[in-house]
Chain A
Amino acid sequence: MSLERKDEHDHGAWLAEKELSLIEKTYLMSLIWLDKRFRIVDYLELLEDMYYKINLQMPKSHTEQYNLDNKFWYWYPLYALGSFSVIAYLVAAVSGALLGFYYAPATGTDGDPIAYETIVAIMKDLNFGFMLRSIHRWAAQVMVAAVFLHMLRVYFTGAYKEPREVNWIIGVILLSLTMLFGYTGYLLPWNQLAFWAGQIGVEMSLAVPIVGEWTAQLLFGGFSLGQPTLQRMYILHVFVLPFVVTALIAIHIGIVWMQGIAEPH
């Protein structure tokens, strides 16, 4: 009695009787080896299923249904603004990750703040550092601009109406978070502008009754600015916001995909 199974599921025998090129053989052997362990075939079916679902014919759009597309809708270029926000966000993410290798969120005790000095070092000593910082700044500025303009295009083409309320609200949250992204980043160089913008932030939260002091403690690490403020801004900027904003953008675009772009009449 042998443990080898001799039936139609003997893939080894099947493989042997086929005439295969070396590539096909290697491929099949690794596939079978992996499939025995991970049951890949199940996942392939899942993928196949998804493939056909994705490639379902979408319902006809308004312009197609009423054959209005022979008239050029000259605002269409503005429909790229949402994608431009995404691209600028990606560029900012990549350049930001590189900047993060060289930046330290510390105020230090004497002399110029360490954060400020690391940025001076990035700009003066690091190869390509000046450009890197420039790219990050501009990507951020352009992203905020694109998001604002995207909101305006959605407003003036009436694309926010029923049934797209949820996406509009997610958009408002995204807009606020984008500005918060910018604000927390603005504080990181710890220069005069950063410090006094932070000061305004603290004053704003302290003005709110009941939860104000708590908010100032949580976000700014106290009622006056210092190391805790800088550290919190850093964590918000490079940890919390990236996760939240990326997830929300994914949901936002997922919803656009489900609902389709609102066609103009």
Chain B
Amino acid sequence: MSENESNEPRTDGSGPGIVAPDDEVPTWRERKERTTGLSRVTYEYFERARREDQDLRQESSYVERDVLGFPTWPHETIRNIALASFFTGMLLFLSAMLPPHLGDVANPAETPEVILPDWYLYWSFGLLHLDPINPELAIVGGEKIMSDELYGVLANVVVVGVIAILPFLNKGSARRPVEEPFWAALGVGGVVFAFTMSILPIQEMFPWEVAITFDLAFFLPIIAAAITYAVLKTMREGYMYDLNRRYYRLRPPR
């Protein structure tokens, strides 16, 4: 068999087997541009976004440094392995020192005196005990519009829902608690609320009246929030002054 020197396409299975793109074959970009409908708008948007990105980069006065951090290997990796081993070691130590116990076997006939979930659900369990503030409607003859259980379930939904929408309520670039005393106070109040709700299921076990515990469960978070607010507001002036001075010395306003 003689070697075929010419570039004529061959049909015997040899040769590159790939048709080189000539003028007839649309490029990838042209293909995209010819599309219609959703893929077309997607493409157009990406083009725009890429152009915007490029423009912003060209405009920026941002100076690249040669080294922007320290290497993943070995520095970061070794540090992470060390941290992870230490943490796992602590876990094993805890397991060896404080083994769990296995309570009595399940007995549907005998209700235990104290029913409690695991500790991390105490707050949720506490929210099921809000029946004293389940509103009664005068129109329906002083009856509650919903059962106490449903009220408790809704309270859980509301708490989780409020946490979920936080990023849509508080925007902006402030990060440190002193910059936003209100939101820091809300956070501290929320944490204390989780703790006070946790004691509601055992409110009968205190040597004073139940109503006092119940009221405290709502007042303590408010008091904690108020104290946080006051402290941060007081700190704020001096602190922000320092922070701004540093900040603007390094980056004078235009």
Contact = CB atoms under 8 A, between A and B. Distances in A.
Count class of interface residues, chain A? 35 or more
B219 interface: no
Given A161-B170, A200-B115, A204-B149, A191 B91 contact: no
Interface string B150-185: 101100000010011011101111111101100110
Given A130-B99, A207-B152, A265-B243, A192 B121 contact: no
B1 A265 contact: no
Name the residue among A116, A155, A160, A206 with the largest chain B CB count within 10 angstroms. Answer: A155
23 contacts: A1-B1, A5-B14, A60-B64, A64-B65, A66-B250, A112-B105, A116-B106, A120-B102, A135-B92, A137-B95, A144-B120, A158-B175, A158-B183, A161-B173, A169-B164, A172-B163, A182-B118, A186-B118, A192-B112, A193-B103, A196-B111, A200-B128, A208-B150
Given A192-B104, A194-B106, 11 more contacts: A60-B62, A87-B88, A134-B95, A160-B166, A162-B167, A168-B164, A168-B166, A191-B104, A192-B105, A197-B117, A265-B176
B241 to A, nearest CB: 14
Contacts of B141: none
A225 B108 contact: yes
B180 A158 contact: yes
Contact of A164 (B99, B120, B167): B167
Contacts, number: 186
Name the residue among A91, A134, A145 with the largest chain B CB count within 10 angstroms. Answer: A134
Name the residue among B80, B94, B105, B171 with the largest chain A CB count within 10 angstroms. Answer: B105
Contacts of B147: 207
Nearest to A116: B105
A168 B175 contact: no
Name the residue among B88, B179, B180, B250 with the largest chain A CB count within 10 angstroms. Answer: B88
Contacts of A5: 14
Interface in B94-141: 94-96, 98-100, 102-108, 110-112, 115-121, 124-125, 128
Contacts of A1: 1
Contacts of A145: 120
Contacts of A265: 173-176, 179, 243, 247
Contacts of A83: 80, 83-84
Interface string A192-222: 1111110110011011110000000000000
B170 A113 contact: no
Contacts of A199: 115
B46 interface: no
B117 A207 contact: no
A134 B87 contact: no
Interface of A: 1, 5, 57-58, 60, 64-68, 71, 80, 83-84, 87-88, 91, 112-113, 116, 119-120, 123, 130-131, 133-135, 137-139, 141-142, 144-145, 148, 152, 155-162, 164-165, 168-169, 172, 176, 179, 182-183, 186, 189-197, 199-200, 203-204, 206-209, 224-225, 262-265
Contacts of B187: 152, 155-156
A120 B110 CA distance: 21
Contacts of A119: 102
Given A186-B118, A192-B104, A208-B150, A138 B64 contact: no
A88 B152 CA distance: 31
B175 A80 contact: no
B88 A197 contact: no
B34 interface: no
A191 B110 CA distance: 12
A208 B153 contact: yes
A64 B64 CA distance: 11
Given A183-B117, A265-B176, A162 B246 contact: no
